[in-house]
Amino acid sequence: MTEYYIGLMTGTSVDALDAVLVQFDSDDTPIIHGTYSIALPEHIQQQVQQLTSSGEGEIALIRQADLDIALISCKAIKALCQQTGISLSTIKAIGSHGQTVRHYPTTKSVKGYSLQLGDPNIIAEMTGITTVADFRRRDIAAGGQGAPLVPAFHRAAFQSKQDDRLIVNLGGIANISYLPKNGEIIGYDTGPANTLMDAWCLKHQHQHFDKDGDWAKTGHCHNELLKTLIKDSYFSSPAPKSTGREYFNLAWLEQHLDQLKTTPSTADIQATLLALTAKTIAQDIDKVDPHKNATIYACGGGSQNKALMEKLADHVAPRDLATTAKIGIEVSWVEATAFAWLAKQTMNRASGNLPSATGAKNDVILGGVYFA
């Protein structure tokens, strides 16, 4: 009997919830039967923005956001099944990532933690489908960062015996998965992808993102600012490593702007943030693929930013840069498909993390299971 899984993903951009209906063949190749995306209402975006800013936040606000994100998840699940004609009762499990509101990796002195909202109890109860959630904390318990989790799926879905590949996920935060045809897989967060550009664009253009990088293209990269930003210790710290909006945010940017003798124009700052994303990703690609043999495939919202993709292509040449659509999954659905796969792994009592990416001491089964 065909086993269907649903994957749910809301990323650091906090703009939409993506749902994908998928089955996996015998070699784990995903077969996507349907996709659905629902915009996050303004009140949820505001809740998450409050909870990801400095300070502990209100318990009541956390609970309300937990409920609201679960309810919109249920709405997306039901709409997806109605759209595809697949009955809720035939879904084996849902893999719900939830909305990250805190991600603090473990340091030498402090045990890290990661908190995602979107109550899986509500999802399981309202859909009647077994739900797998809270994927990150088991990896942290095993000594890992709890992120990035997608490299294990990238290995299953995209690794080739014929050529070296490198997947670049351009979400709020950028992460890379180096998939050599022979040798160890490497994966980690390189730093900001869209998060700084989106925040700056919202503040000064009142738009949630800079479509195609059009605003950035009206400015010029401010070299002094770029040099200042790249000196941040995160970019030179060794892998495994992960990060989030708790670190790379407007407060971080403004600290660096304060170090300049003159303040660049807002458009020049946007152009510089785009350059920062492209340059830091390319630097890390050069570290893991020094012989420049890998073909690079991008996914996530940033892969639809023409200016960013052009800048990244310049930096990674002579390697080819394409998108994951060329190898089987459209750019918008890779992460949601990853969490459907992680749900399958958990239901089959198989590991879902990749210790070489997260730093965990061993393979572990991820997530908690909330039975229907």
| Claim to verify: residue 20 and residue 119 sit in the same structural domain | yes
Q: Are residues 119 and 178 in the same domain?
A: no
Amino acid at 300: G
Q: Are residues 209 and 290 in the same domain?
A: yes
- Beta carbons within 10 angstroms of residue 208's beta carbon: 16
Q: Quick one: 186 and 284 in the same domain? A: yes
**Residues 6, 95: Cα–Cα separation, whole Å:** 6
Together in a domain, 29 and 164: no
What domain count does the chain have? Answer: 2
List pLDDT tens digits, range 109-156: 888 999 999 999 999 999 999 999 999 999 999 999 999 999 999 999
Q: Which domain holds residue 360?
A: 4-147+333-370
Integer Cα distance of 254 and 304 in angstroms: 27
Judgement on whether residues 119 and 206 belong to the same structural domain of the protein? no
Chain segment 63-97, per-residue pLDDT in tens: 999 999 999 999 999 999 999 999 999 999 999 99
pLDDT tens readout for residues 300-336: 999 999 999 999 999 999 999 999 999 999 999 999 9
Q: Are 151 and 177 in contact (CB under 8 A)?
A: yes
In the structure encoding, which two tokens stand for residue 247, read together? 């670190």
Shared domain for 31 and 180, answered yes or no, is no
Q: Which CATH number is 132's domain given?
A: 3.30.420.40
pLDDT at 29 over 70: yes
Q: What is the pTM of this model?
A: 0.94
How far apart, in whole angstroms, are the C-alpha atoms of residue 302 and residue 323? 11
Q: Based on the domain organization, do 282 and 157 belong to the same domain?
A: yes
Q: Mark whether 207 and 338 lie in a shared domain.
A: no
Q: Taking Cα atoms as reference points, which of 172, 328, 297, 316 lies closest to residue 243?
A: 172
Same domain membership, residue 341 and residue 304? no
Residues 63 and 155 in one domain: no
Same domain, 277 and 354: no
